[in-house]
Amino acid sequence: MVMPIFLDVHKVPFKEENLRELVGAPMDEYGVTHVNLFYNKEAGVCFCLLDAPDTESVIKHHDKVNVECEWITEVTMAKN
């Protein structure tokens, strides 16, 4: 089964090393895995590209580390 892909944006409360670790992390208890993370260190902004069952799972994934997303949207990747 192919999992939907979500893109979200939020402030970066972590160090760059932590973000790199997240990309290689296994699926969490909500069924969420990181496809990739894009961030701007100077602006303190992070865009997460995630495999997740649904939007609610993405919210729970971020809530467990006290990160509030400014927005979350389901996306389709043009390049596979």
Dihedral sign of CA atoms 26, 31, 35, 41 in order: negative
Residue 80 lies in a domain: no
Predicted TM-score (pTM) of the model is 0.90
Residue 67 lies in a domain: yes
| CATH assignment of the domain containing 21 | 3.30.70.3090
Q: Is 31 exposed, middle or buried (0-12, 13-18, 19+ CB in 10 A)?
A: middle
52 contacts: CB under 8 Å, gap ≥ 6: 3, 4, 5, 6, 30, 31, 32, 33, 58, 61
Q: How many domains does the chain have?
A: 1
d(CA 70, CA 67): 10
Residue 47 lies in a domain: yes
pLDDT of residue 1: 67
Residue range(s) defining the domain that contains residue 48: 5-75
- For 23-35, write each residue's pLDDT tens digit: 889 999 999 999 9
- For 7-60, write each residue's pLDDT tens digit: 999 998 778 888 888 888 999 999 999 999 999 989 999 999 999 999 999 999
